[in-house]
Amino acid sequence: MSSPTFRPAYLDLSRRELLERAERAVTTLADCRACPRDCGVNRLEDKWAACKTGRHAVVSSAFPHFGEEDPLRGWNGSGTIFFSHCNLRCVFCQNYDISQAVRPGPAAPGSPPDEIAAMMLALQRQGCHNINFVTPEHVVPQVVEALVIAIGHGLHVPIVYNTSAYDSLESLELMDGIVDIYMPDFKYWTVERGRTYLKAENYPDAARAALKEMHRQVGDLVLDASGIAQRGILLRHLVMPGQLDETRAILKWIATELSPNTYLNLMDQYRPAGRVSATRYGEINRRITSTEYAEAQQLARELGLRLDERTPIAQLRVLLRDV
């Protein structure tokens, strides 16, 4: 359910332009460069490499999500579509069961574009404020072809691109004029930690380039009168135990290279998960301390960033029940 005066960007694209965009997107799967891995496999022949995804995207779940930031979840929820598999290998992934543990092939059948389009339309009918693609980095061509179908059948809510920021500029070009809200997670600043914890040493450079392109496309986050996100970047950063140097570098870069008006969810919910244990990656085998999080918050405020403040959903519904 979007604002009655808001018009998603994709509605300004002609039907012909959307169809041509989808055709171009699908063609790129023959020599896949959908993400910075640059695997070059022919996914049109159902081959795969790092992302373990062939011709069709694998959807893990689709539902109205009330755990997202207030500007996304509102009072009816964010219409999330979670994609399985991932182009990163975060050792601490809290969604490890769907991002890395799922075996490709018959055990995880893909969803053709008409099925994904039907999911979008169903979420819109439920009153969701947006369609929120979670972990879309490796399935951008599939998302574009599904969107063309959904738009043709009346999709009219904003599109949220919920990403690790390990995106190729080629994929972001395909999404230009389609995505209204980018929600990237800037994880690590240094090559060494990208290599160690994400298994992608080029992550920092790729993320910085992707974030600049996202901001170029949509700018700072704009909310309607009810506080619902309409367009712009909503950026996330997960504070990690013992790694405040990463947080400092990332927040300073955001304020100087993107905008001091960037809307930021500074997340404190890290917990050991995935491959992390006392014997493997033991240095991050703990929660962050209140002191670590307070220091991160203080820096964000000093830089003037717009910090996300969560409202309990029951209270939010009361505040907005007449909207």
Q: Which amino acid is at 237?
A: H
Dist. CA 283–CA 53, nearest whole Å:
32
- Per-residue pLDDT band for 45 (boundaries 50, 70, 90) equals very high
Question: Taking CA 93 as the corner, what is the angle to CA 92 and CA 96, rounded to the nearest 5 degrees?
Answer: 125
Q: Identify the sign of the CA torsion 31, 93, 294, 201.
A: negative
pLDDT score for 318: 55
Give the pLDDT score at 3: 56
- pLDDT above 70: percentage of residues in the chain: 93
pLDDT of residue 95: 81
> How far from 208 is each of 41, 52, 160, CA to CA, in Å?
25, 25, 19
Report, as an integer, the average pLDDT of 93-105.
77
pLDDT at 322 over 60: no
Q: Over the stretch 73-96, which tens digit does the pLDDT of each residue have?
A: 999 999 999 999 999 999 999 886
Query: Above 90 in pLDDT, residue 276?
Result: yes
Give the start-to-end residue ranges of the domains of the chain: 10-320
pLDDT at residue 120, as a whole number: 98
pLDDT tens digits along 219-252: 999 999 999 999 999 999 999 999 999 999 999 9
As a whole-number percent, the residues of the chain with pLDDT over 90 amount to: 88
Determine the average pLDDT of the residues in 245-272.
97
For residue 47, the tally of other CB atoms under 10 A from its CB is: 13
Kindly state the tokens that stand for 315. Answer: 């209270």
Is a pLDDT exceeding 80 seen at residue 41?
yes
| Amino acid sitting at position 48 | W
Task: Note the CATH number of domain 10-320.
Answer: 3.20.20.70
Q: Predicted confidence band at 288 (pLDDT cuts at 50, 70, 90)?
A: very high
Tell me: pLDDT of 321 over 60: no
Q: What is the pLDDT of residue 60?
A: 93
CA distances from 272 to 186, 191, 244 (A): 19, 22, 17
Token readout for 9 is 């960007």
Give me the amino acid identity at 187. Answer: K
Q: How confident is the model at residue 101 (pLDDT cuts 50, 70, 90)?
A: confident
Q: At residue 129, what is the residue type? A: H
Q: Average pLDDT of the chain?
A: 93
**What pLDDT was estimated at residue 108?**
64
Cβ-contact 253, 208 below 8 angstroms: yes
